[in-house]
Chains A and B, each alone.
Chain A
Amino acid sequence: MSMTHWQAAFAARIARDEPQWLAPMRAAAMTSFNALGFPTTALEDWNYTSLSSIAEVPFTVGASASSTTVADLTPYMINAEWPTIVLLNGSYSPSLSSLDSIPAGMLVMDLAQATREQPALMQQHFGTVATSEHAMTSMNTGLMQDGVFVHVPKHVESETPIHILHVSDAAAAMSAKFPRTLIVAEAFAKATVLESFVGMADVAYFTNHVAEVVVGEHATITHTKIQRESDLATHVSTTEVHQARNSHYVNFSMAMGSKLSRTNVYTVLDGDGGGVTLNGLYLGKGTQHTDHQTRIEHAQPNCFSRELYKGVLDDASHAVFNGKVYVHPIAQKTDGKQSNHTLLLSPDARIDTKPQLEIFADDVRCTHGATVGRMDEAGLFYMKSRGVPAETARRLLTYAFAADVLETIENETVKQALEQLTLERYAGSGNNTAHAAREH
């Protein structure tokens, strides 16, 4: 049933006027998706995460009209002065976006405009990075609607983050959206991009997002993703990165929303001397299922990679981490470090972690580590002996565990915003307990 459903959505989509170079790409992707189908747990990469719950759901492509205003978005803006481009229920919303403060030289625009105004750049880069034969990526390419194009020309450096805000409100109920992001940093460029996925209403919907990032020679891209979709949403997001010589890519993935989320971050270090940092924090509650999969491909010598993912799992939440570091035969002098640490707060929480190394070069230094455990009893005891109430101590230790990886975020405002979100998540139970204690 479902495949014909998506095929029909595709047929409706190609009716739209599209450039000659894009249409065949879309058609090929759709063919590939039709052949692959939704991933099943029989696939090694989807061993622990099942999309079967949504594979048969007839989501509509595109949402009905929405009444969300600029004021409604205030809590999600992080910093209202940053250039912010809003995709509401998958569609670019010029009225909600504020693009007046784009740093000089940079381009930030929706994909339709980019296709019209920057055909050369678009054609050069679009679809060249997200080439993995993955069903979800093919599905996005086949069915994508709106998206965002960020271009940072040679030698242009900016500290101001560009905020891409993917908002879903009540009108998103039972819809599917396929947003797409393309970030191109030319040589010696430097920029920060923040992608937020926000669910404003308790409705079910499906997000399948793809981001392509091209990092030119000596360029640096800092890319932070905040996923706080509705607790009923299914969220799949794939970021694929291509890195040239001496480039640096820094990704942070914060996952706290969705019923089921899957975040893929894949990067290829395709030039001498590059570096990549992939960090992340996942906070699980209820019956949430949070899956991260990362792949760092060392294709050239003298590159380094750093990876730290931490997770805090409460209730009956389930998290999955699969980190792969692949070192090609010629990638000598590779220096890779990867770690994954998970704190289990509840007896019903569950983690499946698989840090993986595949090394074909000899002159390398690669390590990985994983730990799983519960709250440190000694730490708790120490704090209680100093007069800190048990629940506050528990909260503080949980926060401290998570904050450790948030510390790696360079942008102070983004860091504080994520610290705040983390605090709020764990303050709730603590406050209630303190409150209850007072009443007794």
Chain B
Amino acid sequence: MSTEIEALVGREYQYGFVTDIAADTIPPGLSEDVVRLISAKKREPEWLLEWRLKAYRRWLTMKEPTWPNVHYPAIDYQAVRYYSAPVTAKPLGSLDEVDPTLLETYKKLGIPLGEQKMLAGVAVDAVFDSVSVGTTYKAELAKHGIIFCSFSEAVHEHPELIRKYLGSVIPYSDNFFAALNSAVFSDGSFCYIPKGVKCPMELSTYFRINAADTGQFERTLIVAEEGASVSYLEGCTAPKRSTNQLHAAVVELIALDDSTIKYSTVQNWYAGDENGVGGIYNFVTKRGKAMKNAKISWTQVETGSAITWKYPSVILQGDNSVGEFYSVAVVNNMQQADTGTKMIHIGRNTKSNIVSKGISAGRGQNSYRGMVKVLPKAAGARNYTQCDSMLIGNACGAHTFPYIEISNNTATLEHEASTTKIGEDQIFYLKQRGMSAENAVSMIVAGFCKEVFKELPMEFALEAQQLLGITLEGSVG
């Protein structure tokens, strides 16, 4: 079976092209001057520069974490370019002014940016290298009082909101990569849903790293006022390059009383080749704070990146708040992933639900690392965790590191985990019904991940399933 599958293996990473576009790039290296330069390029107010500098100074005192179960050569932070922007003569007024090459890129990526979006009905903010190149659907959203724009724009247009919420869930001192991001973040998305408003469409951001040797440090901030609700999607791609590129993003969610935020990610950064050359280091900090009766739901499909290190978390601050985490993480070839979640139960009757599906193939190493913490005052807290791993091939690994810390006896917690080989008999059964080995595998995997996929918005679910198929191609031997 292995040869026929191996023949199918080498399907190319289809987003691996490079767009030849003029870019305003600063030389590699990091210093206070670089931080000031980035801030100046973005014409930022003084307080934001101060905040960046505080973050930078704190970062200098911090050590890169070594506890994740991933291995990579030391990163030279002085060799990274911290800013790269497509050159435009003036600030963009509308999509029509966007460089057509760029639009072509997004078309190749299949993002419905431009007129096609009308049909898709998705409002997109696209971040190319470091800057946001266009936000569609702004007028439509504005009717509802929803703000959806690039982070830089928000800094100028809505400084009071940014000042109030920036760093309120993930302080700049939170961890090494969050501090780095806080110092040098170049752009990202900002989204604000006013009180009682249900966002009428899915909001979406597409991230793309294009320039070589650049790091991408975007920041997303979503605020849902009382009773508001929003569903937010995020997708990522990068060109194929033989050097590793750093991506250290920060995502902060604030769900005020009775609001709902649903955040979905399909992460398909370039994963490196089959020998582990190149690929993105995806070191991301994502955290949400849920106030009274609020709900934050993270759904992620992680198929790309050479190394993934991320733990979308929920601080269940308010009574009756709900946190959810649905994850599919796939590693193939030399990919490594250390991902999971943290659910911090602070309020009473808080609930969290964790479903994690890890798939390891090739020489990939996949770790689930999760924490469920119930503080003494979180009476009636409830957690259910299920983390399953599937192994395809005998050179990969699957690891589970759940930390369960319970300090309240009215809490109820259940944790289940299993690790198994992909069902030989299931493959056999499907093959004898006339399916190819590859289709059989992709069908079994789709079934394995069903609980997570059903949480994704329709178009994303389809894309995720396809991605999974591509990532795992040729992994059955």
Contact = CB atoms under 8 A, between A and B. Distances in A.
A346 B376 CA distance: 11
Given A344-B406, A352-B404, A358 B397 contact: yes
A355 B417 contact: yes
B410 interface: yes
Interface of A: 44, 329, 332, 342, 344-374
B462 to A, nearest CB: 29
15 contacts: A44-B67, A348-B409, A355-B417, A356-B401, A357-B419, A358-B399, A359-B391, A362-B396, A364-B421, A365-B420, A367-B417, A369-B415, A370-B404, A370-B415, A373-B413
A369 B417 contact: yes
Contact of A357 (B398, B414, B421): B398
B53 interface: no
Contacts of A365: 418-421
B410 A374 contact: yes
The 4 closest A-B pairs by CB, nearest first: A344-B409, A362-B391, A370-B415, A357-B400
A291 B440 CA distance: 45
A359 B419 contact: yes
B403 interface: yes
A354 B401 contact: yes
A373 B391 CA distance: 32
A366 B401 CA distance: 14
Which of A347, A357, A364 has the most B CB atoms < 10 Å from its CB? Answer: A357
A373 B396 CA distance: 35
A329 B395 contact: yes
Nearest to A368: B417
Contacts of B376: 347-348
Given A362-B396, A374-B409, A351 B404 contact: yes
Contact of B394 (A352, A361, A367): A361
Interface residues of B, number: 34
A372 B391 contact: no
A359 B421 CA distance: 11
Main SS class of interface, B = strand
A358 B399 CA distance: 4
Contacts of B418: 365-368
B394 A364 contact: no
Contact of B393 (A350, A354, A362, A368): A362
Contact of B406 (A351, A356, A357, A368): A351
Which of A351, A367, A372 has the most B CB atoms < 10 Å from its CB? Answer: A372
Which of A347, A350, A370 has the most B CB atoms < 10 Å from its CB? Answer: A370
A64 B396 CA distance: 57
Given A350-B407, A351-B404, A352-B403, A357 B412 contact: no
A357 B399 contact: yes
A358 B402 CA distance: 12
Interface in B398-441: 398-421
Which of B67, B392, B393, B404 has the most A CB atoms < 10 Å from its CB? Answer: B404
A372 B404 contact: yes
A259 B171 CA distance: 38
A196 to B, nearest CB: 30
A345 B409 CA distance: 7
Nearest to A44: B67
Contacts of B416: 367-369
A359 B366 CA distance: 10
A364 B419 contact: yes
Given A348-B409, A359-B391, A365-B421, 16 more contacts: A329-B394, A353-B406, A354-B403, A356-B399, A357-B417, A358-B400, A359-B399, A361-B391, A361-B394, A363-B394, A364-B391, A364-B420, A367-B419, A368-B416, A369-B416, A371-B413
Nearest to B419: A366
A355 B368 CA distance: 12
B419 A356 contact: no
Nearest to B415: A370
Contacts of A349: 409
Contacts of A363: 391, 394, 421
A264 B408 CA distance: 26
Given A355-B415, A357-B398, A360-B397, A372 B421 contact: no
A346 B406 CA distance: 12
B34 to A, nearest CB: 33
A44 B69 CA distance: 13
Contacts of A357: 389, 398-400, 417, 419
A348 B376 CA distance: 8
A361 B392 CA distance: 10
Nearest to B477: A362
Contacts of B412: 371-374
A360 B363 CA distance: 10
A356 B400 contact: yes
A313 to B, nearest CB: 8
Contacts of B391: 359, 361-364
A44 B401 CA distance: 12
A1 to B, nearest CB: 29
B250 to A, nearest CB: 26
Nearest to A345: B409
A360 B406 CA distance: 30
B426 to A, nearest CB: 14
Which of B402, B415, B420 has the most A CB atoms < 10 Å from its CB? Answer: B415
A44 B391 CA distance: 27
B232 to A, nearest CB: 32
Contacts of B404: 351-354, 370, 372
A352 B414 CA distance: 13
Contacts of B414: 369-371
Which of B391, B402, B403, B409 has the most A CB atoms < 10 Å from its CB? Answer: B409
B334 to A, nearest CB: 15
